[in-house]
Amino acid sequence: MNYTDFTIRARDWQGSHFKVEVTQSPVDRMRAAEEVAYPSGTARLLRSLERKNISFEQLRGLGEALAQSLLPPTVRHMLSQSLAGLGAQDGLRLRLVLDDARVANLPWEYIYWSRAGEGLGLDGFLALDPRLSLVRHEAMPAAPAPLRAGWPLKLVVGLAAPRDLPTLDLEAERTLIEEALGGVHGVEVVCVDHLTVSRLEAACQNAHIFHFAGHANFVWDKEERQGVGLIYLEDEAGERLPFPVQHLALTLRAGGVRLAVLGGCETGRRDGVNVWTGIAPALMQVGIPAAVAMQYTVYDDAAIAFARRFYQALAAGLSLDEAVVAGRLAMLNQGAPGDAEWGVPVLYMRSADGIIFPEVAADPALEPLRQQQRVTIGQRVAELHAELTGLEIAQAGMVDLEVTQEIDRVSQGGSVIGARIERLNGGLVQASQRVGEVSHGGRLVGVRFGGKG
């Protein structure tokens, strides 16, 4: 999918208000910024989200409050126009430039906008729409380094399991990454168990991607009066060794890392005081083009589900944008109904596009694999009197299916079904139905499936 930037900048914090403007989009840019209010009444919802005790209705309410602040009327109008102009293989990259730390600390990945013709279900969460990539951009007076890397590509998987911290299923995460990328020509996967400082420094030499599997934290420094992001490595005795974000950033930069994937809890967090104290933003500061991190604690099985789909997508030559959405959807489908884990990952990216493996993306032999992971069906009907089904299959597994149906009028006896699937084993099935009129006796069904594997 080819993503075009739709850049939203939030700036000029004053009291409980700030300004929002579109600085780049397929249609144009805003002539003047709009003043918006900090999302009110969200403190309790944010606490419930962080404690993983939030209902779907509460999560949607939080998302709607976030949308009220970041998507005022002019921004929504421009976003609607930009979405309407997308081709079948086009997408929008919502690039968020959040100048003030108090705004940047909000979980924008849960922003909810129920567009015309849609209900009040999951489809209103923008981060779950494959056509939309939600990216945080750290503005700085320096050109972004290129994300693309030439062959051979080296991925370092650092696994740290200090014996004085809760046990994690790191072996499963390592196995999934090796399986996803093991068959990709020119990609070397180097796994480092019991990650210490010296092993980290040695492994990251000439590395392109660094994946951290282990514990992380965000703690308050009383003397500095600010939060400090850190990951936990192991010392020589196997005990926890706090490794500050500044040290990690410099180590990865020295090795040549272009993408850091941080599976530890709270690796995408910042304190609202210093924008660089969070781990992922600090990586951007030293020139690393992209990072994927977690803004809250994340369940172990959800982190594993994300890693599996994320690297499967990259191995097929899909972009970082698409891989993150795929990972979110895997977390969504893996969890119980109402789980909000899918919004925990945060994508930071300053590079102009999300292609990491250009040779893989250009390899025509892998096109069937890419199509297996994203199937798009479009239907256009003026007036419908019978049944119209966009997609009907027995089983869907680890694949993104998108069905778009446009019907001017559903007459009596007409029935529109976006997708009918007997069993869903993972991935995403998204049905978008734009209907002008539904007569009495007409029927609309988005997705109907027998069960989830």
Render pLDDT for 360-390 as a digit per residue (tens, 0 to 9). 666 666 665 556 555 454 455 667 676 666 5
The pLDDT of residue 160 is 94
Q: Does residue 113 contact residue 71 with C-beta atoms inside 8 Å?
A: yes
The pLDDT of residue 277 is 61
Average pLDDT over residues 91-96: 96
The pLDDT of residue 7 is 97
What the block records as the tokens of 150 is: 């030439």
What whole-number distance in Å separates Cα of residue 6 and Cα of residue 83?
A: 10
Q: Where are the domains of the chain?
A: 2-136, 153-362, 369-452
Greatest mean pLDDT among 4-8, 47-51, 449-453 lies in 4-8
Instruction: Give residue-wise pLDDT tens across range 22-48.
Output: 999 999 999 999 999 999 889 999 999
| CA angle centred on 185, ends 180 and 187, rounded to 5° | 65
58 has pLDDT over 50: yes
- pLDDT bracket for residue 219 (50, 70, 90): confident
What whole-number distance in Å separates Cα of residue 229 and Cα of residue 281?
A: 10
The pLDDT of residue 112 is 95
Q: Does residue 187 contact residue 152 with C-beta atoms inside 8 Å?
A: yes
Query: What CATH number belongs to 153-362?
Result: 3.40.50.1460
169 has pLDDT over 90: no
Q: Is the peptide bond before 152 cis (omega within 30 degrees of 0)?
A: yes
Q: Which residue has the tokens 């997705």?
A: 447
Greatest mean pLDDT among 57-71, 138-152, 267-281, 313-327 lies in 57-71
Residue 17 CA from chain centroid, whole number: 27
